[in-house]
Amino acid sequence: MKRALITGVTGQDGSYLAELLLAKGYEVFGLRRRTSTPNYENIQHIKDKIKWISGDLTDLASLIEAVRLSDPDEVYNLAAQSFVAASWPQPLATGQMTAISVTNMLEAVRIIKPQAKVYQASSSEMFGKVVETPQKETTPFYPRSPYGVAKVYGHWITVNYRESFNMFACSGILFNHESPRRGLEFVTRKVTDGVARIKLGLEHELRMGNLDSLRDWGFAGDYVKAMWLMLQQDEPDDYVISTGEMHSVKELLEVAFSYVGLDYRDYVVIDPEFVRPAEVDLLLGDCSKAKEKLGWQLEVGFKQLIQMMVDEDLRRVRNESVKYEVPAVH
């Protein structure tokens, strides 16, 4: 039985990855940072199947102990301060959690279990102000946020440990990937949650920022399969994971609102508060390397993804709002 240690296991990606690994017969260990009110919403259905270890990515000693206790064959480092907008008011915290923490994890693995295979979660935000389209593994980075800068550090320190210590360390440069488990602060989930609340009569407007931003959106459940495939290869390497399709925020709104029979123009209000200090205008990934070398394939398309998220938010909001006697939507 293989053993895997996952950081960020309670998040969107961590929960889908834990499901995948458990289904493959792995013994899964989850790093849990102590909080007064832990949030297990995404993994409630598999919580008891995960072996929990207390630790903090900013504390090397606790990571050394986590690696010792889990004795992993594979380590998936997914935890980070991952909300781009929060990285401007919290640049130092973002640097600690998203950049320096990567070195902590790599160092813990190097000291305790150097033969373990390591996956590092890189991000398309590293490309930022893109210098070529589509973006591939060799495209130069030009980050436009403290988050993007921190991810660039995490990416290159992973390459450095691979080359300096002969560690099996991979970075997955994942483009935007969404699901019903996405945090409500992210634009896709903000939209689908807003659509559900408007459809059910609980809200009357949705405040948005730049509707012209273009993104490459995929399904998180597909993307965690690529993470696993990277660590099954004979040699470590870095891979872009994307759909190869680009959609605007405006198109996201059109798909989500029209799915419930509404016109987004009747409800969306542009609010300067939600415009980034330094905008990333477009991101479009070239995932041909992952398809060719990993045999990775997409299963869920953009429209299907957004409709899936709207359905789940309608169900959730309706359940939360029973006291208001909200009528069912068919």
Which residues are catalytically annotated?
A: 123, 125, 147
- The DSSP string of 34-50 is --SS---GGGTTTGGGS
My answer on whether omega of the bond before 327 falls inside 30° of 0, hence cis, is no
Angle at 240 between CA 234 and CA 243, to 5 degrees: 125
What amino acid occupies position 169? A
Amino acid symbol at 177? H
Please identify which residue in the block is written with the tokens 């399709």.
245
Tokens representing residue 150 in the block: 């921190």
Q: Which residues contact 133 (CB under 8 A, 6 or more apart)?
A: 282, 284
Contact between residue 66 and residue 31 where contact means Cβ atoms under 8 Å apart: yes
Residue 193 to residue 187: CA distance in whole angstroms:
10
Tokens coding 256: 């989500």
Going across the sheet that includes 3-7, the strands are 51-54, 27-32, 3-7, 74-77, 117-123, 169-174, 239-241
